[in-house]
Amino acid sequence: MSASREKDTRQAKAGFGQADPKTAREAQQRKEEKRNNRLYGVIAVVFVIIAIACLVYRSNLIPKMATAATIGDESYTAAEVNYYFVNNYQNFLSQNYQYISYMGLDVNTDLRDQEYSDGESWFDFFMDQTLQQMAEIQALNDAAEADGFAWNDDLQAQLDENLDSLKSNASSNALSTTAYLRRIFGNTMTEKIFEEQTKRTLLAQAYAQNYEDSLTYTEDQLTEAYNADPKSFDKVSYEVIRVNGAADTTDEDGNTIDVTDEMTQQAMADAKASADSMYTAWMAGSDPSELVDNDKSTYTSTDAGAWSDSIMMNWLFDDARKAGDSTVLEDTDNSYYYVVLFHDRFREDYNTVDVRHILIQPEATTFSEDDEGYDADVQAKKDAAKQKAEDLLAQWKAGDATEDSFAELANENSADSGSNTNGGLYSQVHQGQMVDAFNDWCFDPARKAGDTGIVETDYGYHIMYFVGTDLPYWQVQVEDTLKNDDFNTWYTEKTADYTAEQSSFGVRFVRSMFSYS
């Protein structure tokens, strides 16, 4: 067919609505190309989305940014919650490390997989503590801002010390600061988050401490508080024989047995008979320490017993009590009989003392106790510590020899972390608070302001500086009680309206596995 005829044929078919095969084929090809282009475009978009998702996952962006808790209008990410959660967990371990296994906590197992109590996991337990702490810190930060309590140089110094310690620990573990933080707090932690939350915590602590330090009371207020409840501050001196009236729970062969009511009654009856017999012998002049058998009965002599709501203490603190009173008391709740002799009830009127010290500790020996030369090495290190203490005291005496210069020396040299940032000062020290040698030096009747000396204890050598006497101990106790009550009232008022709520999604990124192996 000629080309012109072929063209005429196509036109004719088109006029009757018939598709020309060539034109139709070309149109179909164009449609397929367009459809393929759209398909490839969709596939490309899918791959881009997957790539972005992988990037986000690898960067921990979701765990870092996901809201894990809210306090009012304030949102906290999982990374920020981790700061408080991990600190709470680690503090709990350090305070209870001796009892962790008895508590049923496995430090090598995910906290979410361990039951704490009644269907609540250990993760839930720590999260509840964390949320409460966060709410309180938020409340105190808001209150500090409202009261104009601002960040200051002292707080900045504390923050810098925290950050320096962080970097030092990271370096000692051969890690960067970021890597060390992630090891402790999980992959969501950053230096910025750590610094921000540490700053919030320090501000809250300083604001609360500032209020507590502002609480002062007159002598009249202290006397009034004492008179309102003297037994809470008085002490008693007494002697007592405690007779155990509990029934045996094992037989002669050590096998566990069920204790019946009859057995319980008989055991208490036997205890009463023993107590009555001991009472008679004691009052007749026998030595009470020789009347006990240390199995079912024990003897103690107490110089300064404090009141508690118990059978024996209520008897001892009765206003009708007078020196020489004695009795036998039954304590059915605790299965005991008490043979008691009352001596005195008194208020602790002696003055507390203020003292500064510089602790010089001997270096630790590298020998084990069984090694030859162990004793000699220990003694050599003690001698070196003593010599250092003597040299420092001589250095102080050769200088200004003032309390301020002693305080400066303490901050530079003392190993006592409890006082080496405040010039080695301990205020309002009461009798029995410190170890014996330290206590005896402080409360020597001949002691006067400005006295110095060196005292040896199990901790090392203490260079002592006697500042002077302080309030009577009973006033210190009353003041502490008033401060505690007033501070708790203030704290509750500041934090009562703040509650932290956790987000079910974001909280999934809070760390719950702490095994570093």
Which residues lie closer than 8 Å to 352 by C-beta, 6 or more apart?
427, 428, 429, 430, 469, 470, 471, 472, 473, 476
What is the rounded CA–CA span in Å between residue 108 and residue 318? 53
Which of 193-197, 380-384, 448-452, 506-510 is the least confident region? 506-510
Residues forming beta bridges with residue 330, ordered by sequence position: 337
16 pLDDT higher than 90: no
pLDDT, tens digit (0-9, with 9 covering 90-100), for 488-515: 999 999 999 999 999 989 888 888 877 6
Torsion of CA 220, 224, 230, 233, to 10 degrees: -50
The pLDDT of residue 58 is 47
Average pLDDT of span 366-376: 93
Could you give phi then psi for residue 437, rounded to 5 degrees? -65, -40
Is pTM beyond 0.85? Reply is no
DSSP 248: P
Which of 2-16, 194-208, 253-267, 279-293 is the least confident region? 2-16
Place of tokens 């095994």: 515
SS3 166: helix
| Backbone φ/ψ region at 119: left (φ over 0), alpha (ψ -120 to 50), beta | left
What is the rounded CA–CA span in Å between residue 250 and residue 263? 12
Average pLDDT of span 311-327: 98
Residue of 321, 237, 325, 242 whose CA lies nearest to 278 = 242
What is the rounded CA–CA span in Å between residue 424 and residue 421? 7
48 pLDDT higher than 60: no
The pLDDT of residue 61 is 61
pLDDT, tens digit (0-9, with 9 covering 90-100), for 65-116: 789 999 999 999 999 999 999 999 999 999 998 899 899 999 999 999 999 9
H or E stretch at 453: strand 452-457
The pLDDT of residue 456 is 98
**Measured between alpha carbons, how far apart are the two ends of the chain, in Å?**
87
pLDDT, tens digit (0-9, with 9 covering 90-100), for 137-166: 999 999 999 999 999 999 999 999 999 999
322 pLDDT higher than 60: yes
What is the rounded CA–CA span in Å between residue 465 and residue 441? 10
